[in-house]
Structure 1
């Protein structure tokens, strides 16, 4: 068990990086269309300002860069 535990990938450092920067580090790709800008930083200084962080829906960098007519 200890050998299996030692060879596993450390998920905590990846989650810390994801929450701090919003960028995903993955070996498999996870089937995601974007790897940057996936987190919302919300500061809870005041309740209404905290809720205003979630008022807008962002579809992601993939849709912002997509060129369709």
Structure 2
């Protein structure tokens, strides 16, 4: 009675492309920005630590104490 439509290889490839740009690409962009944000945050915290506390190297401590 009704027509049966079989999905061929071509439709599978089209869905792969749709998945890549629909899910895969945003995931890659999100991971890149999350990594960049983490690196920036670590640098800012390190700079704030040096600014507020000072550089706590052994050479610096020897000069202050001696």
TM over 0.5: no
**Structure 2 length normalisation: TM-score?**
0.30
Q: Whose helix fraction is larger, Structure 1's or Structure 2's?
A: 2
- Larger radius of gyration, structure 1 or 2? 2
Higher relative contact order (CA 8 A, sep 6+): 1
